[in-house]
A and B are shown apart, each in its own frame.
Chain A
């Protein structure tokens, strides 16, 4: 079935260090993989996405890599700052229509001073 697994569930890093969150998906035909950041009391905000015809995408301190063969994708945040602290969700759109996003279970990232 349609499934996205996300690890770790919690991640604590020191300010300035890098953070990596990993996801795997079940449908090899999936073609769109967004990452969302959710701050306390707010809605998920799209921070970066990648499509299946690309292996890597970078936007300032954030990068996403996609390995279609292994069916996994990762979020990399470099030079972390306290304002990066939030819950991060990976997601995938599976084939079958409707543009339905299937989310991972979330990673609580805490950046410590």
Chain B
């Protein structure tokens, strides 16, 4: 299936731990994103990468470090996890950054619970 996939789907961990979420898209897109959805379902962008280059860093704490080894992958590493990091994290991709190709396709999400 052509899609945006994320692993793991669920992640439960203790405060202070370090964890990673992986994202892969096989749509041939150049641009990938991370969004955070809080408990009130509010969706907000965190990062975007275009062809492995950071484009947007939306004032996210530096405990969050995205890494794009190639344009099909955008992983999210989180250090020193805090209770407030509990949320659902969505990866998305779009063909590129041009105006005519900016439809974004979302992955299934990773529900992170910090205890």
A interface residues, Cβ below 8 angstroms from B: 31-32, 34, 36, 38, 41-46, 49, 87, 89, 93, 97-103, 105-106
- Across the interface, do A43 and B107 meet the contact criterion of CB distance under 8 Å? yes
- Pairs across A and B, CB under 8 Å, 22 listed: A31-B99, A34-B103, A36-B106, A43-B90, A44-B90, A45-B106, A46-B104, A87-B41, A89-B43, A93-B102, A98-B97, A99-B48, A99-B55, A99-B97, A99-B104, A100-B58, A101-B45, A102-B45, A103-B44, A105-B40, A105-B41, A106-B43
Whether the Cβ atoms of B43 and A42 lie closer than 8 Å is no
- Residues in A whose Cβ lies below 8 Å from that of B107: 43
Instruction: Count chain A CB atoms within 10 A of each CB in B41, B55, B90 and give the residue with the most.
Output: B41
User: How many angstroms between the C-alpha atoms of A9 and B105 in the bound complex?
Assistant: 24
Q: How many A-B residue pairs have CB under 8 A?
A: 60
Q: Which residues does chain B contribute within 8 Å of A89, judged by CB atoms?
A: 43
A41 to B111: give the CA distance in the assembly, Å: 9
A102–B108 Cα distance when bound, in Å, is 19
Q: Which B residues lie within 8 Å of A105 (CB)?
A: 40-42
* A97 and B55 in contact, given A49-B103, A103-B42 (Cβ under 8 angstroms): yes
Give the Cβ gap from A99 to chain B, nearest Cβ, in Å.
Answer: 5
Tell me the smallest distance from the CB of A45 to a CB of chain B, in Å: 7
A102–B43 alpha-carbon span in the complex (Å): 8
Contact of A42 with B41 in the complex, beta carbons under 8 Å:
no
Asked whether B66 is an interface residue with its Cβ less than 8 Å from the other chain, the reply is no
